């Protein structure tokens, strides 16, 4: 079975971070997990990885409501960085508001919009799909 080399979780809530990380570990589809506590930390970390010609995470699970930079600010800035590497972004949020869902459309992320708490089976299916693509 081919595994995802690196997955990234951008999440400030310790409980949701623990659950998401544990589900990813239990899935068996991911080698390594990168954790960032807010959008700015994720942006800085990923931009540095690009500048150093390092391999980016194949998948990012992005919370929307965080301090410093929220998920939207991260998306606004991260999508401006030129890279040939394919990164799949899933919004992972407690928000089920129509406004946030419509805003996700601007980034073509409506099919990648998950409402917390994410279920193990749901996450496992996503990771399996990404690992074979």
Distance CA 5, CA 13 (A): 24
What pLDDT does residue 131 have?
83
Fold classification of 4-132 (topology level): Rossmann fold (3.40.50)
Quote the pTM value: 0.93
What pLDDT does residue 1 have?
65
Residue 36's φ and ψ, nearest 5 degrees, are: -125, 140
Contact (CB, 8 A) for 100 and 71: no
Domains of the chain, by residue range, sit at: 4-132
Residue 107 pLDDT > 80:
no
DSSP state of 130: H
Residue 113 C-alpha from the chain's centroid: 11
Distance CA 109, CA 16 (A): 20
DSSP state of 112: G
43-71 pLDDT, tens per residue? Answer: 999 999 999 999 999 999 999 999 999 99
Contact (CB, 8 A) for 59 and 29: no
């Amino acid at each position: 079975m081919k595994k995802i080399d690196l997955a990234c979780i951008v999440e400030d809530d310790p409980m949701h971070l623990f659950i998401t990380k544990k589900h990813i570990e239990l899935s068996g589809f991911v080698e390594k997990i990168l954790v960032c506590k807010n959008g700015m930390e994720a942006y800085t970390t990923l931009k540095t990885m690009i500048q150093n010609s390092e391999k980016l995470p194949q998948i990012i699970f992005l919370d929307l409501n965080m301090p410093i930079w929220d998920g939207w600010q991260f998306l606004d800035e991260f999508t401006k960085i030129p890279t040939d590497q394919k990164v799949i972004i899933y919004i992972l949020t407690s928000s089920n508001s129509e406004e946030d869902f419509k805003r996700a459309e601007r980034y073509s992320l409506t099919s990648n919009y998950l409402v917390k708490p994410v279920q193990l089976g749901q996450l496992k299916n996503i990771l399996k799909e990404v690992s074979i693509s």
